Amino acid sequence: MELSSTAYVILGLLHKGPKTGYEIKSVVDHSTRFFWAASYGQIYPELRKLAEAGLIEGTSKPSGARKRTEYRLTASGRKELRRWLEIEPAVFELRDEGLLKLFFAGAAPGAASKAIEARRDHDEQKLRQLREIEPMAKAAPDSFPHMVLRYGVALSEFSIRWCDEALAELNREDAA
């Protein structure tokens, strides 16, 4: 069975302890979404597939009238997660609509500055969010979440500086 990237996100999060689908989504929203997002529409079907494959197991844990299933890794799930972690990453892909629009901005006056300003606003917001969750990353049982967070901070700071330089370049061109 070939697993999706979302499946490995789930296995990795369950390695840290049992979680419901809702808890998995919450952790994703405060951690991996900055570099690898997952929606409820991806998480719940993957939970079913992983359970059918014997990589996780679910236990019913109702909360009031609400149905809840808490999932935990099985020995096979831990083995599969370790196998995947030992394989060199195959994809280092950046898909960025803002950069794509900037690349073609010569076709629409003013599009370049709009794309750069939007990128800068996005990166400033992302940097604020990363700073907010930094204490949680520092408190993790190992250093890896904080290591990845520092990458996100450095990348955001770099991008903000790049945007400032690009906007200054556009202003110089407009003044000429």
- Could you please state the CATH topology (level 3) that the domain comprising 5-85 is classified under: Arc Repressor Mutant, subunit A (1.10.10)
Instruction: Please give the pLDDT value at position 35.
Output: 84
Cβ atoms of residues 145 and 133 within 8 Å: no
Instruction: Report residue 58 CA to chain centroid gap.
Output: 24
∠ CA 3-92-119, nearest 5°, is 115
Instruction: Please give the pLDDT value at position 95.
Output: 78
Question: Mean pLDDT throughout 144-172?
Answer: 96
Question: Mean pLDDT throughout 71-80?
Answer: 97
Instruction: Please give the pLDDT value at position 26.
Output: 93
- Residue 170's nearest CA partner among 104, 117, 125 is 117
Q: Is the pLDDT of residue 65 over 90?
A: no
pLDDT digits over 41-61, tens only? 999 999 999 999 999 999 998
Cβ atoms of residues 54 and 2 within 8 Å: no
Which tokens sit at 76? Answer: 């096979």
The DSSP 8-state label assigned to residue 40 in this structure reads: H
- Percentage of residues of the chain with pLDDT beyond 70: 100
Taking the whole predicted model, whether its pTM rises above 0.85 is answered as no
**Residue type for 138, please?**
K
Which tokens sit at 138? Answer: 């520092």
Query: How many other CB atoms are found less than 10 A from the CB of residue 134?
Result: 16
Cα 20 to Cα 42: distance, rounded to the nearest angstrom = 14
State how far the alpha carbon of 126 is from the alpha carbons of 15, 129, 162, 167, in Å. 27, 5, 15, 20
